[in-house]
């Protein structure tokens, strides 16, 4: 049983990690917590379902869905975040929460309130690994989730370390003014960050849709969990987002398995709160020293 829980934990953990990365990237570039992040996940899943139902094959539907979400992300940044960049933390939180409500409302208009199915990427037959007591069954989709997430994280790491745009984003996250003085366009960095985060969220949404179905409000809990994972790992740390996401997934799965499935979320949030009380900067967060 343990292996089953661990597997399911890592699977959801990978999804949380992708969503958390989205939070981290936007936070790093703009110090904004984008509470609409979960809606990108929703768009990823719902758009994939729609494109597929319209007749497009999955290999086309998924990238199109991700592209749609990316567009929405850039629009969000241009129309809602940029005009309000001088506002206080609380105000910005309200703006992004308003955006998430708006997007959910649009989702019910563009689509509907029903649950949609997306077929698995490569088949529905469960695979069995191991044997006897240590065996676990897994859907092939799980392999897709884990594999694609790992590739995405690797690509992101390469992007931030090796490309000019990636380094520009990191520069802005450390010191916006200095980055500007170096000739970096902060506006472009912000747009790219939102686009990237939206793409990550949508990717997560498309990956998980065959397993967990998709509907207009899947984004709410996923967004909150992604936020929790990002904070747990250390807000602003990309590695922290991944670690936080995987940790949260595992905590939830173990909690659901060994304690009670009804209280798995309670268990997860309690652990996060306890972790924050003892490690206010998260697992991997830097201790920020305030100069007085």
Of the residues 103, 204, 206, 250, which one makes contact with another protein according to CB under 8 A: 103
Q: Among 153, 151, 121, which residue's Cα sits nearest to residue 139?
A: 121
Q: Among 199, 193, 197, 189, which residue's Cα sits nearest to residue 69?
A: 199
Tokens 């990191």 locate to: 170
Counting contacts by CB under 8 A, is residue 283 touching another protein? no
Q: Using CA atoms, how far apart are residues 145 and 8, in angstroms rounded to an integer?
A: 11
Report in angstroms how near the CB of residue 162 gets to another protein at its nearest. Answer: 28
Of the residues 60, 108, 147, 258, which one makes contact with another protein according to CB under 8 A: 108
Counting contacts by CB under 8 A, is residue 125 touching another protein? no
Bridge partner list, 109: none
Q: Using CA atoms, how far apart are residues 74 and 97, in angstroms rounded to an integer?
A: 16
Q: Using CA atoms, how far apart are residues 109 and 94, in angstroms rounded to an integer?
A: 23
Residue number, 1 or 266, with CB nearest to another protein: 266
Counting contacts by CB under 8 A, is residue 273 touching another protein? yes
Report in angstroms how near the CB of residue 246 gets to another protein at its nearest. Answer: 18
Report in angstroms how near the CB of residue 116 gets to another protein at its nearest. Answer: 19
Spell 97-134 as b/e; 16+ CB within 10 A means b: eebbeebbeebeeebeeeebebebbeeeeeeeeeeeee
Of the residues 7, 102, 143, 283, which one makes contact with another protein according to CB under 8 A: 102
Q: Using CA atoms, how far apart are residues 58 and 82, in angstroms rounded to an integer?
A: 34
Counting contacts by CB under 8 A, is residue 277 touching another protein? yes
Of the residues 71, 89, 154, 155, which one makes contact with another protein according to CB under 8 A: 89
Please give the span between the terminal C-alpha atoms of the chain, in angstroms, as a whole number. 53
Of the residues 121, 159, 213, 269, which one makes contact with another protein according to CB under 8 A: 269
In the shown chain, the binding pattern of residues 190 to 229 toward another protein, with x for contact by CB under 8 A and - for none, equals ------------------------------x---x--xx-
**How many chain residues touch another protein (CB under 8 A)?**
49
Collapsed DSSP state (helix, strand, coil) of residue 188: helix
Q: Considering only residues 224-253, where is the footprint of another protein by CB under 8 A?
A: 224, 227-228, 231, 235
For another protein, the binding residues (CB under 8 A) are 33, 80, 83-84, 86-95, 97-106, 108-109, 220, 224, 227-228, 231, 235, 262-263, 265-266, 269-270, 272-273, 276-277, 280-282, 289-292
């Amino acid at each position: 049983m343990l292996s089953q829980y661990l597997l399911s934990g890592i699977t959801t953990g990978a999804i949380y990690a992708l969503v958390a990365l989205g939070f981290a990237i936007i936070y790093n570039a703009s110090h904004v917590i984008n509470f609409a992040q979960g809606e990108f996940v929703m768009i990823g899943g719902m758009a994939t379902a729609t494109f597929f139902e319209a007749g497009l094959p999955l290999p086309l539907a998924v990238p199109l869905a991700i592209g749609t979400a990316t567009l929405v992300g850039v629009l969000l940044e241009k129309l809602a975040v940029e005009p309000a960049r001088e506002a206080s933390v609380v105000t910005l939180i309200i703006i992004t929460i308003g955006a998430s409500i708006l997007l959910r409302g649009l989702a019910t208009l563009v689509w509907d309130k029903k649950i949609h199915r997306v077929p698995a990427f490569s088949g529905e037959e469960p695979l069995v690994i191991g044997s006897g007591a240590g065996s676990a069954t897994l859907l092939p989709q799980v392999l897709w989730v884990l594999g694609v997430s790992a590739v995405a994280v690797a690509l992101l790491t390469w992007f931030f370390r090796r490309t000019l745009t990636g380094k520009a984003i990191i520069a802005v996250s450390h010191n916006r003014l200095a980055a500007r003085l170096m000739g970096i366009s902060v506006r472009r960095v912000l747009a790219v960050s939102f686009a990237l985060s939206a793409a990550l969220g949508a990717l997560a949404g498309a990956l998980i849709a065959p397993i967990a179905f998709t509907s207009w409000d899947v984004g709410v809990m996923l967004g909150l969990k992604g936020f929790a994972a990002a904070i747990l790992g250390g807000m602003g740390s990309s590695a922290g987002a991944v670690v936080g996401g995987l940790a949260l997934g595992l905590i939830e799965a173990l909690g659901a398995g060994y304690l009670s499935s009804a209280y798995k979320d309670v268990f997860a949030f309690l652990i996060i709160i306890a972790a924050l009380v003892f490690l206010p900067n998260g697992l991997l967060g830097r201790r920020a020293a305030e100069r007085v």
